[in-house]
Amino acid sequence: MTVFLWNAFTFVVALGLLVTVHEFGHFWVARKNGVLVKRFSIGFGKALFSWRDRQGTEFVIAAIPLGGYVRMLDERIDPVLPQFADLAFNHKTVWQRMAIIAAGPAANFIFAIFILWLMYLIGVQEAKPVIAAVQPQSIVAEAGVHDNEQIVSVNGHNARDLRSTNLLLVEQLGRPRMTLGLQDVGSGRQRQVELDLSDWQFDPEQQTVFASLGIKLMQPEATTELALVVPESAAERAGLQKGDIIRRIDGQQITDWPMLERLIQQNAEQTLLLEISRSGQSLELEATPELLTREDGFTQGMLGIQPVVTPWPEGIVYTQRYGVIGAISEGVSQTWQLTRLSFAMVAKLLTGDVSVKHLSGPISIAQGAGDTASMGLIAFLAFLALISVNLAVINLLPLPILDGGHLMYLVVELIRGKPVSEKAQEIGFRCGALVLLMLMGIALLNDISRL
């Protein structure tokens, strides 16, 4: 319950902040263009708090924190007295209306730049994408990639750290080939290799993009040595101690922590024979994992142990920190990369290169908000920047119910010299709402299936 409440709280904070930024963009540009804003609402439904400013705008915080809106004076919706006609949205020029509509997504882009600027002023810990091992007969092995090489570019784009490299690799989904720039860690010699992606299979729910290509990175690893035995746990009752190294379970050799963890989770309330090393001596112990029921209703085995985690290899981790001007440049660059990736993912959904089963909804976003907030300020800020860019990109899609759809109608009006008929707009809004509801439904079902 504690995890659920934390996720819900961070989700409301993150979404509320991003929606406020988005709607403030519409609000600010509308006022600058002389439009009367009747209501500025964060959330939908019953108003929890409300107040009015001197210009008559009602500011509302509503009960359902899943969006927001700015309601402007408009003759198509409200009766407007002749003396106030110049304050109505529909009486403004096409260019003014386009500016007001586009201001919401623009505000989210600017906010992402601001967040990233703040992150790089504080300092962001990054890791170099250095290859520790190449899986035999994998895509990168066939291309001739070697151990102890660092990825420095992906299709000509700079890949200086692990995070940006991950985004650049994901962006290549659906392409037949990809060029990697590599630098030998020892000699510094650089070269390029071309990867054949015709057989590339990547499922983000099952593996990382690096693993899907056959790359094992240099990074901390959980070992089979025990760093902690939880008091009064099944492990303590079995006689396990800190410093023990688990070698085998029921005669099966344990090669890594994920394998050990998987065997424990799959054998709840089943007695396991553990072969361990303790102070250089071999011992056999019997342990019975307890049955644990998670918050989502699923059950698994739990022994009550934690592994020793190796430190980062020397020279892999570094801190990126810039001055005021440099951080702005970095914020713009990172926002552009996120924007390019977001549009690319939309295109890949349409072409089928990315399956709709990978769409995420509010539950996944809430989990992401909770997880990153638990990791610290920098991780949460990075999450906010990503979601802010995604919110802007989604709103720019040419669906009539979204900002992009309104802009599409205004472009048509600009070309034709007269507005799109109200009947055509109404049909478009209904179709757009149907498509959006379908996508939201798929995303929600995906969220539920991942629980």
* Residues that are catalytic: 23
Say what angle helices 324-351 and 162-170 make with each other, to 10 degrees.
30
Q: Name the phi and psi angles at 391, rounded to 5.
A: -65, -40
d(CA 194, CA 264): 41
Tokens 């002389």, located at residue: 34
d(CA 79, CA 62): 25
Helices (H), 214-297: 234-238, 257-265
Tokens of 2: 């504690």
d(CA 269, CA 237): 14
Helix (H) or strand (E) holding 448: helix 422-450
CA angle centred on 202, ends 201 and 208, rounded to 5°: 140
Coil, strand, or helix at residue 395? Answer: helix
Q: DSSP secondary-structure letter at 144? A: T
Q: Torsion angle, CA of 32/35/39/42, rounded to 10 degrees?
A: -40
